Chain A
Amino acid sequence: MIQPEAKPTKPHGSPNLKHSLNGALLITLPLLTGEAMAEYGLNFPEPAAGVAREIYDIHMLTMTIATVLLIIVFAFVFYSLYFHRKSRGYPADQDFHNSWFGNWSWVIVPVLVLGVDLTIAGKADAVLKSVWDVPKEKNIMDVKVTGHQWWWEFDYLDHGIKVESRFMPREQSGDLYLREVDNRLVLPTGTKIRFLHTSADVLHAFWVPELAVKKDAIPGYVTETWAELTREGVFRGQCAEICGTWHSRMPIVVESVSPERFAAWTGEQQAIKVAAAAEASTDKTWSMDELLSKGKALYETKCAACHQVNGMGLPPAFPALNGSAITNGPIADHLHIVLNGKPDTAMQPWGSLNDLEIAAIVTYERNTWDNKTGDVVQPVAVKQAR
């Protein structure tokens, strides 16, 4: 369910602010026309959530104040540079600092600056409360956002759905490379949504500019933000906190849909989940070929980012699996490291996968590349190893 890209439209902030900003930008960037500015994205994208709109407005307010102050400072400096120079024969006024102005400017200037500060702080404080306080509503929709090295996990706590979201290689994503994922975060419009942020390994940060939500994902912490989407569309963001090697490959794509379509989507996802669980829990003994084909697909989405498709890894950070002691050693050790991860490395526990998935991955790893153990690991063995 992929929607066509929403056409970027011009932000409709207060017209005066917009006008003065554009004017300032035109002064600084005389080569760019108004149309080019929209194309190149000189400002925040059009907000898609109520709070994002307020944030957009406070951004425009402070930027306008900053621009005006800058113009004032520049005007005084350039006036002085032009008129108060020796080459024009201007005599230095040796007593300027002893005039009444010199004696009282240390009071006048701070009072003026304080006035500006209070204007900004007052506005910001009013907005801050609505940004910071998640509405206390019983039926707020909860989405748990877990950062992993280097993918996102979205748990729809009220629907029992989990979405794993990974970047897509250039061949599949084209011009959206690094801004496109395999599974999007689908959210309904007009619904208050609470995001609960945490991390499975290192720090990450969830950032979607249209939602104006940015929060660090911290292991051991659950931080919260909220949003209520105001329009449908596809909104793209990226991980904002450096999280190691592939920090650049953690895009976030929010697909905002009507509540009806969202309900249909959740139904679909729940059905898929039920089917997968049923498949995994049968007592069936799986053949090598079945496990290998399942394992290949799983390996290439979940493991290949670090260990590489060819199993050679990227040493020293990511060890090779091809010919390694783990993939050719005892099955129990192999299962242990996949299920529990390796402390203080980027290898995370994969215990949240079901028994069949783990069995398929382990079987694949033990029988691919130069690894020829011939072991067929069945889901039952995984169950026992847990």
Chain B
Amino acid sequence: MTTTTLTHDEAHHHEAPQGWRRWLFSTNHKDIGTLYLLFALIMLFLGGASAMLIRMELFQPGIQLIDPDLYNNLVTNHALIMIFGGVMPAAAGLANWMIPMMIGAPDMALPRMNNLSFWVLPAAATMLILSFVIPFFPGGGTQINTGWTIYPPLSLQVGMSMDFLIFAIHLLGISSVLASINIIVTLLNMRAPGMTLLKMPMFCWTWLVTAFLLILVIPVLAGGVTMLLFDRHFGTSFFDAAGGGDPVLFQHLFWFFGHPEVYILLLPSIGVLSHVIPTFARKPLFGYKSMVGAMLAVATIGMVVWAHHQYTVGMSLGAVTYFMIGTILISIPVGLMVFNFIATMWRGAMTFETPMLFAVSIVLMFTFGGLSGVMLAVVPADMQYHDSMFVVAHFHYVLMPGAVFGLFAGVFYWLPKWTGHMYDEKLGKIFFWTNVISFNITFFPQHFLGLAGMPRRIVDYNVMFTEFNVISSIGAMVFGLSHLLLLYIVIKTIRGGKKAENRPWEGAKGLEWELESPPAFHTWTTAPQIK
């Protein structure tokens, strides 16, 4: 294949810039994917550190380490950093790396916009971090003590930090929408000849749906926070009852974004599982079409059940009944997805490398989190669960396994392809077991705290809640620190290791495995033909 003319030709048209210019001016999907993943990794550690501070404070009753406003500020920032800085960019990083290689395209459809959608993120992260630190400077105003939901009127009381946060949300939203447009255009236009939509790899399907969800809901959040900005500075009263506004309106706008956001975080990981489980079970994904259908159903129903986050605001009986039944019905497509994963494992010839270990643990723990979700959907019972630690336990059980562990599985699965080196399997397994066990020690006891009456987002608690908080905090320290091992494994793999074959996993199928490991700077410059 490699002839002198071709090399010359490529060098002429695509001078690969070196040094910082390679990254800042990059239009290459692989480099941008790497940037996204590195960014997400940094944010993961920032968000993790804030979570560890939260759990340290909650280790014992009383206020020991941090004052209440800083505590609430950390709670707010932990969520925003993890969601917008950690999970979404990591998923976008996987998409950038894998989608062109999976569909046989030379790059993303809009490479310059790809560059922009990444480079907006560091600016957004700066704004987000500023919103956290500005109150520590003289004249910096009060801290953001609202939680990530930034409900008015409390968010109207906060100082200038809230304005930084609002602009950070705008920038993050712009980044997500640009990335989504790029992904949709790429998937709809640049598939290799013969790859019909129903032959498209599942990871691409999940991202297609995710991208549409993002474009539908991000503008609603942007509108909501802009109205908040106007209420704060320009004398409007969208959310101020004294001026004829409605504080609950903000909650509807927020959760119209916020609930689909849950599926935005979840679906890319479902896509990863749809590759990992068939690979290590050595048989095809069970129910490809029903998986696609289930995903479309989840996305559709997920768009119209947002108010189950606000059962206690005083909606009418008819409204809560609708939202309850709608929410419970989501268990049908989600149940079908879980079923398909189990049926893929069933009668397979399984081996348990690190990606597969994560995948199996996701199936189990996500089912658990999903079932406590059904409990929460039941309005009368939610009168008790709402805003208690039970909710905290529930959403960490869906978001950690459902989103983050899925991304870990993807990283371990594709790391040999990206770096050309096998990761250290033994360390990978140690990471998996410490991670998953400490995760359960952290979050399982929080169910009991919630049922016993401990509200969420409190800096100090009565002695009756001590035992489970101690267990949870110890788990959280181990859980947080275990991610240093992930960092070590990734760095070690980048720097060297056993040479990875083109198809390092015996059961792996798909176009990306036909490329060498690591792949050339430009791949699939000639589109493959799909039979």
Contacts and interface: CB of A to CB of B under 8 A. Distances in A.
Contacts of A91: 349
Contacts of A237: 453
B386 A316 contact: no
Contact of A132 (B242, B317, B444, B463): B317
B455 A240 contact: yes
A110 B342 contact: no
B464 A179 contact: yes
Contacts of B68: 245-248
B431 interface: no
A203 B154 contact: yes
A201 B289 CA distance: 52
21 contacts: A45-B452, A58-B378, A63-B375, A73-B342, A80-B346, A81-B350, A96-B347, A106-B336, A116-B331, A176-B462, A178-B61, A202-B157, A216-B312, A216-B313, A216-B314, A219-B242, A221-B314, A240-B388, A241-B151, A247-B458, A248-B460
Given A94-B284, A106-B289, A202-B157, A77 B342 contact: yes
A102 interface: yes
A240 B367 CA distance: 27
Which of B69, B321, B335 has the most A CB atoms < 10 Å from its CB? B335
A212 B384 contact: yes
A244 B381 CA distance: 26
Contacts of B448: 40-43
Interface residues of B, number: 101
Given A73-B367, A84-B349, A316-B135, A236 B453 contact: yes
Given A44-B384, A220-B246, A128 B328 contact: no
Nearest to B459: A248
Which of B329, B363, B379, B461 has the most A CB atoms < 10 Å from its CB? B379
Interface in B323-365: 324-325, 328-329, 331-333, 335-336, 338-340, 342-352, 360, 363-364
Contacts of A40: 448, 452, 467-468
Interface string A69-81: 1100110110011
A54 interface: yes
Interface residues of A, number: 94
B452 A42 contact: yes
Given A132-B317, A246-B68, A248-B459, A120 B453 contact: no
Interface string B354-396: 0000001001100110011011001111011011100000000
Given A220-B242, A316-B135, A201 B153 contact: yes
A93 B145 contact: no
Given A247-B457, A248-B461, A128 B317 contact: yes
B375 A62 contact: yes
Nearest to B387: A240
B273 to A, nearest CB: 13
A256 to B, nearest CB: 16
A224 B316 CA distance: 11
B286 A221 contact: no
A77 B345 contact: yes
A105 B328 contact: no
A131 interface: yes
A244 B463 contact: no
Contacts of A93: 283, 347-348
A314 B455 CA distance: 24
Given A70-B368, A105-B340, A216-B312, 12 more contacts: A62-B375, A69-B367, A73-B367, A84-B348, A85-B349, A120-B328, A218-B241, A218-B313, A221-B248, A248-B68, A248-B458, A346-B157
A221 to B, nearest CB: 6
Interface in B130-145: 135, 139-143, 145
